Structure 1
Amino acid sequence: MAISPPKTPQEYIEHHLHNLQVGEGFWTFNLDSLFFSIVLGLVFLIIFRAVARKATSGVPGKLQCAVEMILDFVDKTVKDMSSGPNKLLGPLALTVFMWVFLMNFMDLIPVDFLPYIAQHIGLPYLRVVPTADVNITMSMSLGVFLLIIIYTFKFKGVKGAVKEYTLHPFNHWAFAPINFILEMVSLLAKPISLGLRLFGNMYAGELIFILIAALLPWWSQWVLSLPWAIFHILIIVLQAFIFMVLTIVYLSMAAATEDH
């Protein structure tokens, strides 16, 4: 059953910025963001696994060549940003980069395409860019935050972790409470800035596409949407790269055993 479309630009914008939700209060789930983030994660895994299984030492195909270029790029970035061997950091960096890139890439799909299909199968709302949902970006940054804590205790031990949070920047036990407060502020700022940076950029990009579609006639929308889409390709890649680099840097700092 088709649902009546919004009639005014304000209704149109509000409609496109509303998630498909279930639950109430704190336990509200954005089903569309969860669906697209999981599906895109599976797309990444399926494509890379298929390429890895069919990889050849001869002349590679276009897809294998693209995957190898991405792997070389991520591997070089990890080696430049981190010190010492770490079996988790490389695969994690690749996963973060590709997953964020694919979720960002959904912003280039025409604004009304998937929501129009969703309305005709009975779904009142549908947002297709998971990284424009603060819940997704903050969940990813929370995962990075937990890894920072794990890395700190794994590589520095309990004693080293206590010193990390109580003897810096002032190297004296008398300043331990002040040091702890300063270190906690710095530690909490990492995941918050990591998640909000990605969310802010992608939300702004999504909003511009929606405003173009809401305020201009359909036959003239390409005049602004096409240049913005071309420019937005740079934003999509750059935000995925920044999220990956900051993840590498934060975990490398947590794993570093040298004194400040």
Structure 2
Amino acid sequence: MASEPQGGLTEYIQHHLHHNTVSLGDSPFMKIHLDSILVAFVLGALFCLWFWLKARKATSGVPSKGQAFVEIIVEFVDTQVKDTFHGDRRTVTPLALSIFMWVTFLNTMDLLPLDAPSFGVKSVAGAEAMHHTFFRWVPTADINTTMGLALAVFFIVLAHGMKAKGVGGFGWELLTAPFHADNTVVKIILMPFNLALNVIEYLSKPVSLAMRLFGNMYGGELVFMLIAGLFAGWISFLPGVLFNTAWAIFHILIILLQAFIFMMLTIVYIATAREHH
């Protein structure tokens, strides 16, 4: 009797860790996670539509509750940018706002019932189809999504560095910082070490961004799966609801905090890239 729940729980978790995947080849790098892409695209479109409608209906008088809420978010993000980035904020603030809201939307999907897609398939196509149908709707619990976001930030950071210092100046700094030398021979000797340190520093930024967000959201999703699997059935339904509610309330803090950290690190990376050493 003791082995059945464990096996059932393992199978339950493994089922929910599968993505709806399309393979374009035999290589693991040729697989596309349709669920992550679809959910991320829809949520991004909803965010843009929401803010566009509020901006379109904005008034200079007493704002509505919806307009006031959007203005609070924009002012909050702009304040963070102003305190961290001392330069032209016209492109940095919209970027930070987009990152914060989009990542928040993606993370919030973790609060939705993870069995809802399966139940939808079951009601339409039956239990057998439900067993073989996979759909994970937390894009940030997918390393491909977080790495894609981090790589986009990485290239934006590089672009800011090249714009501020010029392509030549940016490349020269990679060779001459952080170890400076007045002697030409010593400077040439130090160039490979400077280049290696700078390459490692730049490459570590997208890796840390992606892994931090992915690790927190993947761990949170696993906890929801464990609770749902352990408290399956009518007898344990109420304890399951209580445990899920308690974890969801705590998880709201993680959702917002991870979006805020991703946004702040992006601003810091851009500000650092534009500094002259």
Q: Compute the displacement of 1:87 (Å).
A: 2.1
Structure 2 residue 258 is the aligned partner of structure 1 residue 239? yes
Larger Rg belongs to: 2
The partner residue of 2:42 within 39, 56, 79 is 39
CA deviations 1:58-81 (Å, max 9, x no partner) are: 222221111000000000000001
Provide the secondary structure at the position in 1 that maps to 2:90.
coil
Q: Give the corresponding residue for 1:170.
A: 179
TM-score, length-normalised on structure 2? 0.87
What is the 5 A alignment of 1:119-158? 119-121=122-124, 124-158=133-167
User: Tell me, which stretches of 5 or more residues in structure 2 are unaligned?
Assistant: 1-6, 181-186
Contact 1:167/1:179 (8 A) holds in 2:
yes
Provide the secondary structure at the position in 1 that maps to 2:215.
helix
CA deviations 1:203-254 (Å, max 9, x no partner) are: 0001000100001133320221111111100000000000000011111111
The partner residue of 2:194 within 179, 203, 208 is 179
CA deviations 1:124-182 (Å, max 9, x no partner) are: 01101000000000000000111122112111012311222111121123200011001
Greater mean alpha carbon deviation, residues 72-81 or residues 158-167: 158-167
Distance 1:117 1:36 in 2: 16
Provide the secondary structure at the position in 1 that maps to 2:59.
coil
Provide the secondary structure at the position in 1 that maps to 2:87.
coil
**C-alpha RMSD of matched pairs (Å):** 1.4
Count of residues in Structure 1 that have an aligned counterpart in Structure 2: 252
Distance 1:55 1:49 in 2: 10
Q: Amino acid of the residue matched to residue 248 of structure 1? A: I
Contact 1:115/1:127 (8 A) holds in 2:
no
Q: Give the corresponding residue for 1:224.
A: 243
User: Tell me, which stretches of 5 or more residues in structure 1 are unaligned?
Assistant: 1-6
The partner residue of 2:68 within 65, 70, 73 is 65
CA deviations 1:181-202 (Å, max 9, x no partner) are: 0111111000000011000000
Q: Amino acid of the residue matched to residue 134 of structure 1? A: I
Distance 2:13 2:247 in 1: 18
Contact 2:40/2:106 (8 A) holds in 1:
yes
Q: Give the corresponding residue for 2:101.
A: 98
- Structure 1 runs of 4+ with >2 Å offset: 118-123
The partner residue of 1:207 within 222, 243, 248 is 222
Q: Give the corresponding residue for 1:3.
A: none
Give the percent of matched residue pairs that are identical in Structure 1 and Structure 2: 46
Provide the secondary structure at the position in 2 that maps to 1:142.
helix
Distance 2:167 2:227 in 1: 54
